[in-house]
Each structure stands twice: as structure tokens, then as C-alpha cells.
Structure 1
Amino acid sequence: MTHEERFTTSHWQALLQQVVLEVQHMASICQVALDAPGVAERVLANDGYVAGHSNPAAFKKLRDLMLLHHAVTRQMVDELGGTAAVTIAEQVRQHLAARSHHSPDAP
């Protein structure tokens, strides 16, 4: 894959989607409600008490994936600009919402 192929909109969309799916999977395993206020911040602060199920390895992976999500998003903004990054994030959100049979605004 060339540099030009790697940084296409479709590449960023696929990468972000993979990371989000893994975050959702690990959050489910750990029983962490990431959409609840303050929960994501507690995960990033390595507060395992936010999990409804004790699984230190899964919690570590969840936290690492959330950090990866942040890094991917930051790099996507740097490469494509803020407007394009927001558009891609919205497309990923809508795609994943359709896969789970929820409206895009549903938690």
C-alpha cells in the first residue's frame, strides 16, 4: 500500500470503524457504559471501579483502545483537516448504528 493509498478517506473510515468496534466490544466485556457522563474520563484515568465486571486484562485493552482512538482521530485531523475528520466520524457512527439496528442518536 502506497502512502497515497494509505491516507484516503476510505482508509481512515475503515481504521476508525475497526477501533470503535473493538472499543465497544471491550466495553461490553467490562460492562462499562461509555455513553454515561464521566465514564470515558474515568476509564482513561485508569479507574477500574467504573467497570461492572472485574477483568483487568480487558479493562487495560479498553483503555489502550480508547487512547488509540484518540491518536487515530488526532492524526486524521492532522492529515485531512477537522471538517473531513468530523464527516468521517459521523459516517462511522451512522454505519455502526445501522449495524446495531439503532438510530444514530440512540446510545
Structure 2
Amino acid sequence: MSDTPSYETNRWTKHFEENDLEIARLAVMMDIPILDPGVIDRILGNDASVCGKQKPRAFAELRAMMMMHAADQLKATNSLGALETQDMVRGIVDRLRERIGDRLGNRQEPPSA
């Protein structure tokens, strides 16, 4: 088996990179520590109190993009498999963290088994 990513993997990676960069941009604009525990669930639950800066239109756009991300992640999982999709998204988040820094919050890694 080749180590070269497939066309499909590259397509999903580009899609998530573009969408996640916009999600990160909106989160930073509203001063939302999006990677802090529970914040994503609160955004999806339409809880705008997570915003450091109140921008209702931007929050609605962020929430819609996050809902789209969740739906697309399910599609990617069906297409690529759970492990490959998780690794891909984790890599994208890590690269965003390198670019943007701690303004995204502190993602908690699950404990090792």
C-alpha cells in the first residue's frame, strides 16, 4: 500500500483546511476559545455566551460552519474511515494552532489507554 495520500484524502483535507481556517478566523474575531473543553458543544447548542465579543451575525455564521463541519466529518468518515478522518482533522487543527497560537484555546487530549 502506498504512503501517498489518495485523491479523495487530498480533496477532503483541502475542504477541511479551508473550512476550519474560516471557523478559526471567526472564533478569533469573537474571542472564543474554541478548543477549550465544552465550547464546541455550547456553540452548536447556540450558546453565544462563549463569545468574548458579541457579534450575532458572525456567531450565526460560525455555528452554521461548525454544523457543516460535523456533517462533512461524518461523510469523510464514511468515505475514508474513522481513523484516517480523525488523523486528518487532528493534523489540520494542529497546523491551525501553529499559525494562530493559543487564541484557539486549549484542546484537551484524551488520556492514553
TM-score (norm. length: structure 1): 0.79
Aligned to 2:14: 14
Q: How does 1:12-91 map to 2 (within 5 A)?
A: 12-91=12-91
Q: Moved runs in structure 1, 4+ residues, more than 4 A?
A: none
Percent identity over paired residues:
27
How far apart are residue 92 of structure 1 and its match? 1.8
Aligned Cα RMSD in Å? 2.0
Change (3 A) 1:54 1:14: same
Equivalent AA in structure 2 for residue 71 of structure 1: A
Aligned to 1:3: none
Aligned pairs, number: 98
Unmatched tracts of structure 1, length 5 or more: 1-6
Residue 76 of structure 1: SS of its match in structure 2?
Answer: helix
Q: Deviations over 1:12-71 (max 9, x none)?
A: 000011111011011111111112222211111111111111110000011011111101
Equivalent-residue separation in structure 1 for 2:42 and 2:101 (angstroms): 28
TM-score (norm. length: structure 2): 0.75
Equivalent-residue separation in structure 1 for 2:90 and 2:39 (angstroms): 21
Greater shift in the superposed pair: 12-21 or 86-95: 86-95
Unmatched tracts of structure 2, length 5 or more: 1-6, 108-113
